[in-house]
Every structure is written in C-alpha cells, then in structure tokens.
C-alpha cells in the first residue's frame, strides 16, 4: 500500500463511490494515485445500518450509481434496503475495481509541511494532495436536549438505533420529529403499540402533489445558499415537505398523524407541556435527524462563524484541496452522484496545474487556487 497518493476519498457511500468511479475514469489508479477509506465493516455506506422494515419498496427516489444500474433482479421491493443496496454497492466496487480500504476510521486531517494533507487513520497516515470528504451524516445522530431527560425511566433511542416496529409492541411510544423517518417510524409503530404520540417542533408540511423537478431544484437551491454562507446544512428533505402517501392518508384518518408541539420537559414517566398536559410513555423515539459527520476535518479550521463549512459547488472555500460531497445540497443520491463528478473535475484541474508552494502561514486560501492550464 502506497501511503502517499494524489487523492484520499473518505467514505464509500453513494458520494464516495461516485467520486472513486470518476477518479478511476480520469486515470487515477486505486491504491497508488488514490485511495478510498471507509470505517464500516462492509460495502453499502449507511444503507447497511438501516432498519429491516425499510424495504427497498419503501425507499423512494434512490438513484443508481454512475456507470452501473441496479438491476430489477437485485431490486426486490420486499427485501430490506439494508440488503439490496449493500449488495449492489459491493458489486459496483468489484466491477470498477475501486479497492476500498476498510475498516479504516479517519480521526483527523491536518496540514502537512509540504502543502500536502495528512489523513490520520486507525491504519496509519496517508499523505494526499487533495481530499474528497464523503462521510455522510449517519455517524452523527442529532439528539436534542430537554430538561428532565436523564430522569426518564423508560427507553430512549434514536432513528440510528431503530430496530423495526416489533420492539414497540404493547408500548406507549412518543415519536419526536417531523421528517420522513419520523413519519415512517410512527406509521409502523402505531400498528403494534398500545399508544403513540407524535411531537414535532414545527407543524409538518404535507405535500399533496408529486414533487416536480422545479420544486426539487428550488429546494436544493435553498440548501445551497446556506452552505455558501457557511451555515450548517439542512437536509434537502427538510425543505421539500412530506409526500402524502396512501398509508399516510389512512393514518391521518385514524388520527395517528395528529401532531402535538414540542413538550417542555421530560419526567420519569413521560413528557409534560407548559399548559400542564402530561402524556405517559414507555419509550421516546428521537427521529430528530443527523448532522454532517465532519469532526475529523476540525484541524483544518474550515468552519465559518455560522458553524458550517462554506462550500462553492463541492470545494471548501477556505481550502481548495478539500471537497465535500454528499454535503448540504448534494445530500441525496442524485446529488451525491453529481457531486462526485464535479469534485473530480475540479481536483483534476488543481492537480494538473502542478505542485505549488504552500502559502507562508501554511494555510490555503481561495486566492491560492491555481489557474487552469
């Protein structure tokens, strides 16, 4: 293994594999001129950890990876997506000989003395001229904090640990969160639970009509504006609203989707609102989303005051050697595909322009971006 490469890709989900595929097409050799590292035990990105009741049929709008289709033989709608997608990714990695190195956990990326980036991992350090970060969000579940949370005698868990509805049979369950995952959990759990209560910060916005391309672009543009300003990205789904499916219409009729605003505090046996209302519960399921898993980039000091990394296209504004794919506006399967291609195009131009001296303070800045040849 050559630990000095042109490009390190961190993460081998949809975004990282798209990047690796485009690097390969651009003539970079896996293992010698680029390497893709992933800390998961097997191919599949975050899909391998998704709950068993999330069948492939329930996953809407998943795009194929570039260059190879997910065939209808693979895509049995009754099978868990945690089996279908990883099998497809594994086949993809083999077909394009991407040689993902796993399990390798990236702890920290630092500036080297010679203008290279040093990627510190559980398997040693890689030196790279450019970096494609494709670490997704699954590894950073977001748990909001509420007073009294630690006193709750029941079970609390997050979407990232959701085992499927059976575990909630006969229980009184509070589902927190107005996103797609929260609604899916709620509908499944309501079939077997003694009682469900749905709590969301904002009133959920239901979408009666199918989502068109124009609205899709507008939603992505909103997230794009945020990351350009260096604000933490919202998920694309959070700005598209919830599509009203048949099961949701039925659930709405039964009152399952009657939503309550956020409670004020958590008590040992449930939750309480400011007006004195109290709901008893055995379980609180936090379907409160995820944040970008980018802590390992902290030594590069890319974050803006707003808390996010300012990104132009896929390039980190503070360091043109670093690209973020599957981040903010590209955090969807179609966005991840496109971002992989865009990042490789820019990195190629940067690296083809030849070696450049590091700026005197050892930091890169937008002015240091070399002109294309």
Ligand X SMILES: Cc1cc2nc3c(=O)[nH]c(=O)nc-3n(C[C@H](O)[C@H](O)[C@H](O)COP(=O)(O)OP(=O)(O)OC[C@H]3O[C@@H](n4cnc5c(N)ncnc54)[C@H](O)[C@@H]3O)c2cc1C
- Which positions touch ligand X (CB under 6 A)? 10-16, 37-40, 45-46, 50, 59-62, 105-106, 134-136, 138-139, 181, 293, 296, 326, 331-333, 336
**At closest approach, how far in Å is the CB of 220 from ligand X?**
11
Q: How far is the CB of 235 from ligand X (least distance, A)?
A: 8
**Does residue 103 have a cis peptide bond before it, meaning omega lies within 30 degrees of 0?**
yes
Residue 281 or 324 having the CB closest to ligand X: 324
Helices (H) and strands (E) in the chain, counts: 6, 18
The beta strand positions in 100-141, using DSSP E, are 106-111, 117-121, 124-133
Question: Which residue's CB is nearer to ligand X, number 174 or number 220?
Answer: 220
If the CB atoms of residues 142 and 206 are measured against ligand X, the closer one turns out to be 142
| 3-class state of residue 138 by DSSP | coil
CB of 145 to ligand X, least distance (A): 21
Nearer of residues 46 and 231 to ligand X, judged by Cβ: 46
Residue 5: phi, psi to the nearest 5? -130, 170
Q: How far is the CB of 295 from ligand X (least distance, A)?
A: 8
Find the residue with minimal CB distance to ligand X.
Answer: 13
- Tally of CA atoms within 13 A in the half-sphere of 147 that contains its CB: 6
Closest approach of ligand X to the CB of residue 76, in Å:
16
CB of 358 to ligand X, least distance (A): 25
* Backbone angles phi and psi of 116, in degrees to 5: -90, 165
- Which residues are CB-neighbours of 175 under 8 A, at least 6 positions away? 182, 185, 186, 189, 196, 197, 198, 199, 285, 287
Give the tokens for residue 156.
Answer: 């609390």
The residue (of 40 and 344) whose beta carbon lies closer to ligand X is: 40
30 phi/psi in degrees, rounded to 5: -65, 140
Nearer to ligand X, 320 or 326 (CB): 326
């Amino acid at each position: 293994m050559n630990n000095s490469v042109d490009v390190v890709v961190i993460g081998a989900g949809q975004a990282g594999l798209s990047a690796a595929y485009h690097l390969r097409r651009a003539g970079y050799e896996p293992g010698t001129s680029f390497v893709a590292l992933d800390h998961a035990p097997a191919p599949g990105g975050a899909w391998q950890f998704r709950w068993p009741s999330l069948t492939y049929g329930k996953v809407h709008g998943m795009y194929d990876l570039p260059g190879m289709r997910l065939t209808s033989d693979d895509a049995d709608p009754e099978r868990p997506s945690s089996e279908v997608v990883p099998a497809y990714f594994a086949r993809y990695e083999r077909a394009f000989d991407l040689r993902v190195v796993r399990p390798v956990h990236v702890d920290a990326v630092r500036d080297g003395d010679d203008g290279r980036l040093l990627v510190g991992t559980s398997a040693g350090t890689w030196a790279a001229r450019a970096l494609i970060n494709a670490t997704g969000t699954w590894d950073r579940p977001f748990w909001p904090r509420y007073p009294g949370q630690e006193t709750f005698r029941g079970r609390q868990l997050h979407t990232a640990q959701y085992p499927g509805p059976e575990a909630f049979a006969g229980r009184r369950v509070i589902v927190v969160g107005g996103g797609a995952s929260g609604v899916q959990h709620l509908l499944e759990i309501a079939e077997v639970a003694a009682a469900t209560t749905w709590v969301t910060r904002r009133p959920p916005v239901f979408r009666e009509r199918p989502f068109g391309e124009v609205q899709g672009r507008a939603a992505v543009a909103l997230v794009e504006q945020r990351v350009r300003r260096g604000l933490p990205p919202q998920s694309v789904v959070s700005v598209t609203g919830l599509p009203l499916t048949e099961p949701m219409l039925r659930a709405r009729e039964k009152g399952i989707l009657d939503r309550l605003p956020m409670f004020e505090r958590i008590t040992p046996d449930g939750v309480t609102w400011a007006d004195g209302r109290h709901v008893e519960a055995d379980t609180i399921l936090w379907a409160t989303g995820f944040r970008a898993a980018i802590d390992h980039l902290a030594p590069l000091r890319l974050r803006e005051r707003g808390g996010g990394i300012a990104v132009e296209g896929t390039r980190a504004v503070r360091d043109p050697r670093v690209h973020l794919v599957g981040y903010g506006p590209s955090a969807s399967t179609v966005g991840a595909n496109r971002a992989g291609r865009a990042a490789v195009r820019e990195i190629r131009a940067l690296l083809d322009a030849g070696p450049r001296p590091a700026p005197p303070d050892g930091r890169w800045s937008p002015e240091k971006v070399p002109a294309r040849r």
